[in-house]
Chains A and B, each alone.
Chain A
Amino acid sequence: MADPALRNRLKEERARLGWTQADLAARTGVTRKTINTVENGVFTPSTVLALRLAQALETPVETLFWLEPGG
């Protein structure tokens, strides 16, 4: 069975607040490259980073990230 793919709505939540990737990076203590790779699904963030992102965007983590079966 294929591993489920991690999806996110980081970009939409960021847009809702009118933030750039750099704004979110500054609020979560990572570089813009990390935000960019998470948004594009290239990089799977750790639990700690996922929680920090959710906290910064004032969104429940399960709204921000979810698993899509079958990749």
Chain B
Amino acid sequence: MSDLSKSARDPIAIAERMQRRRTRIFMIEGILFLVWQGIFLTNNEDPGASYRLVDWIRISGFMGWALVLLFLLATGGGFVWRRDVRELMRDESTRAHNRMAQAAGFWAAMIAALAVYVLSIFEPVTPSACMHWVLSAGIGVALLRFAMLERRGERG
């Protein structure tokens, strides 16, 4: 193999390693996010109660976590790497997987919103709990779908 080909392979090797790492992170984060929100939502909130400091910390933590995951979903991450590596990390199949994952997340969020709507007929649901359901379903499903598509692509 020519030297040109060897040198051209270098950023590809890095990008492939980073893609595999990203797949693992997204899979773990997706599972953790959904499991954590499940625990969070089993603690029924009193719709009339005011927020305590611990509630503010919990809600801020959730919002921060959700924002970080949304940002990773939108950008693909890898900002510590050179531009050529970052572009390879978001090559054509990855972008297609990202679009499919975002579509899956959208439908999961819509189904969660409908479920909460129905639930609200039978018992009071706080606005923050509604948002929690919708965000958790949308982000969690998108992360897991992306990780599954990427893993399938890596395995062939």
Interface residues of A (CB under 8 A from B): 22-23, 25-27, 29-34, 36-40, 42-43, 45-46, 49
Contact = CB atoms under 8 A, between A and B. Distances in A.
Classify chain B: how many residues form its interface, as a range: 20 to 34
Contacts of A22: 9, 12
18 contacts: A22-B12, A23-B5, A26-B8, A29-B88, A30-B92, A31-B12, A31-B16, A31-B19, A31-B89, A31-B91, A32-B12, A32-B16, A33-B16, A33-B93, A33-B150, A33-B154, A36-B154, A37-B153
Interface of B is mostly: helix
Interface string B129-156: 0000000000000000000001011101
Contacts of B92: 30, 34, 43, 45-46, 49
Nearest to A48: B92
B15 interface: yes
Nearest to B7: A26
